[in-house]
Amino acid sequence: MRIVYVINSLAVGGAERQVLALADRMAARGHSVALMVLLPSEIDDWTTSLDVVRFNLHKTPLGIARALSKGARFIRAFRPDLVHSHSFHANILARLFKLSYRKANVISTIHNVYEGGWLRMVAYRWSDRWCNLTTAVSTVAAERFTRLKAVPRSKCYVLANAIDTSVFTPDAARRERMRKQRGLADEFVWLAVGRIVPAKDFANLLRAFKEVDGAAPRTQLWIAGDNSNAGKTVDHALATEGVQWLGLCLDIPALLDAADGFVLSSAWEGMPLALGEAMAMQKPFVATDVGGVRELAGETGVVVPAKDASALAQAMLGLMGLSAEVRQAMGRAGRVRIAGGFSMEARADEWESLYTAVIQKEARS
């Protein structure tokens, strides 16, 4: 197969990591693969050996027209069997590319329960005619978009995110090194991972941790993620001395090794990859009940209501109060769940089968 992946950016993030991992596996299986990226490169972009075509998109009528023209030229030259796009802007542009090369089959993937307001839902509905299939990373996301009539139920399919368990594997020696480097003794360390954006609701986490810190002072909260815009979304006055802003971190497995627990405080999600990665690393966790969290977690962790700092704090304190043996058992159960139902290799098989089915169905019609 000849496959083009279309994505908004390659900046460090869960969806971006997911797309690159899938594209790499398709290339390794002998398919011809290219990446089309809407935004200019950034210093924190994930690296890839795949061919990358950048639009350097500017959100103006002229910028969009230039991006469409460049994309159409590339699509006609590459002649893909399938175009697989991810998130709103990439999804809409990829559908429009169908006008310039009608033999391309188009799959759109929705990565979140919220991708914008009603105008975007209208855009999804209007452009569905140029899309063979829309997939969602969780049942909750699929249900919301079909309920809003942005996607027809007959053309919506759920295919959850996956975790590379060969990368996210616990390492006792690495844990010891990381904790020694950071001057830790018996402190309990919570790790949160994600961009400092409203969806992650770090303000809620900071309010919860203030309560945790008051009850258990030898506790730290590490927040790993791009915090360049943190001042716009988080009041740093909420943070206690136990909070450490780590900024952008690429070696998340090492941080997870050093941590004792993982916390997800999101206000909304699709299928949170950071949580899946923590589960693969055998970390006991507390997470808010948003998006596909329950689909991912099953019964392996503690799930609390979103936007409820007190409930989040009490769950964190409750987990800390468990014995080390019980927490370790929770962590092992999480990894078993990820390995059994969310491994990257198994998901790549599913995607490959879905691609083939879409292409064959179109060829018969």
Spell out the domains of the chain, with CATH numbers in brackets: 2-162+343-364 (3.40.50.2000), 172-341 (3.40.50.2000)
Cα Rg of the chain (Å, integer): 21
- Region at 282 (left for phi over 0; alpha for psi -120 to 50; beta for the rest): left
SS3 readout for the chain = CEEEEEECCCECCHHHHHHHHHHHHHHHCCCEEEEEECCCCCCCECCCCCEEEECCCCCCHHHHHHHHHHHHHHHHHHCCCEEEEECHHHHHHHHHHCCCCCCCEEEEEECECCCCCHHHHHHHHHHHHHCCEEEECCHHHHHHHHHCCCCCHHHEEECCCCECCCCCCCCHHHHHHHHHHCCCCCCEEEEEECCCCHHHCHHHHHHHHHHHHHHCCCEEEEEECCCCCHHHHCCHHHCCCCEEEEECCCCHHHHHHHCCEEEECCCCCECCHHHHHHHHCCCCEEEECCCCHHHHHCCCCEEECCCCHHHHHHHHHHHHCCCHHHHHHHHHHHHHHHHHHCEHHHHHHHHHHHHHHHHHHHHHC
Q: How many Cα atoms within 13 Å fall on the side-chain side of residue 145? A: 38
Lookup: tokens for 10? 């390659």
Lookup: tokens for 5? 């992946």
pLDDT at 230 (0 to 100): 55
Q: What do you get for the CA distance between the two ends of the chain, in Å?
A: 19
Residues recorded for the chain: 365
Q: How far is CA 108 from CA 5, 84, 137, 216, in A?
A: 10, 6, 11, 46
C-alpha of 48 from chain center: 18
The strand pair at 133-136 and 51-54 is best described as unpaired
pLDDT at 201 (0 to 100): 95
pLDDT at 233 (0 to 100): 64
Residue segments in the chain with a per-residue pLDDT below the cut of 50: none
Euclidean distance between CA atoms 172 and 270, whole angstroms: 31
pLDDT at 227 (0 to 100): 67
Do the Cβ atoms of 119 and 88 come closer than 8 Å? no
Q: How many Cα atoms within 13 Å fall on the side-chain side of residue 234? A: 24
* Bridge partners, residue 210, by sequence: none
pLDDT at 365 (0 to 100): 74
For residue 292, give every residue at least 6 positions away whose Cβ sits within 8 Å of its Cβ, in sequence order, or none: 137, 138, 139, 140, 141, 160, 269, 270, 271, 272
- Region at 149 (left for phi over 0; alpha for psi -120 to 50; beta for the rest): left
* Bridge partners, residue 244, by sequence: 222
pLDDT at 358 (0 to 100): 96
